[in-house]
Amino acid sequence: MNDDRVNELATKLARVEQRVQAACEAAGRSRADVKLIVVTKTYPATDVQLLSGLGVTDVGEARHPEAGRKVAECVAAGLHLTWHFVGAVQTNKAANIARYADLVHSVDRLRLVHALDAGAQRAERVLDCLVQLDLDPSDRGRTGQRSGTSIANLPAVLTAVAAADWLRLRGVMTVAPPRSDPAESFDRLSALAAEMTAEHPAADLVSAGMSDDLEQAVAAGATHLRVGRAVLGERPSLR
């Protein structure tokens, strides 16, 4: 293993951990109530193995088939990790993702609910899911890139996940809109999550916050943080 890379990851991971701990203390929360997911998209399985050696247990991926290959390599290496799929899910890839993901953060439409349910049934495993909300008020037009369901469509997607035979509704997720105050988005997500848990008590997870805004997410009650760049470094542009 590359000692330089181990030291780099250890240093950056420690810095992120210090930030999370400080954010929890500022918010009056227990550090144990916040899960740190290290997002390793575009980075090799060897980095995941190094991170596992540093105590990381939860790994995030965003693209298939890259994620599937990485999971297979890590399983072959004897690693026992929790795999989070945090990127947009194409319907035609849902069945494959349902085979290896432990928690899908980005369920945002009814067709995807049905595809994941069918894939989980074929894999004979219950798949935990979060419904992703789009809280961006801007109108990006028909060609805009958006991920997440609207607040208006949220009840229908929640109901569909909760009613699926092979899916388990665990909560909600969002990405703070660009050029906005992330605290406002995360506070809105927290309020919506509270409304949701009144009807679905077991759906108590809130996935929010990344490298630049994890403090605001912790303050708003996030249970899961998705941090990549702050641990692994700047990644090449995805194509």
* Residue 129 β-bridge partners: 104, 169
Token pair listed for 92: 């035609």
Location of structure tokens 């991926």: 61
Would you tell me how many other CB atoms lie within 10 Å of the CB of residue 126?
14
Predicted pLDDT of residue 237: 64
pLDDT at 146: 65
pLDDT of amino acid 143: 41
209-217 long-range Cβ contacts below 8 angstroms, 24+ apart: 209/182, 210/39, 210/175, 210/176, 211/16, 212/182, 213/176, 213/182, 213/186, 214/16, 214/19, 214/20, 214/23, 215/19, 215/22, 215/23, 215/26, 216/176, 216/182, 216/183, 216/186, 217/182, 217/186
What is the C-alpha separation between 54 and 227, in angstroms, rounded?
A: 15
Pick the CATH number of 3-232 from 3.50.50.60, 3.40.50.620, 3.40.50.300, 3.20.20.10: 3.20.20.10
**Low-confidence residues in the chain, pLDDT < 70:** 1, 139-146, 236-239
- Which pLDDT belongs to residue 139? 57
Q: What is the pLDDT of residue 141?
A: 45
Please state the domain extents for the chain.
3-232
Q: What is the pLDDT of residues 147-184, one digit of tens each?
A: 899 999 999 999 999 999 999 999 999 999 998 999 99
Q: Is 12 exposed, middle or buried (0-12, 13-18, 19+ CB in 10 A)?
A: middle
Tokens of 221: 């009650």
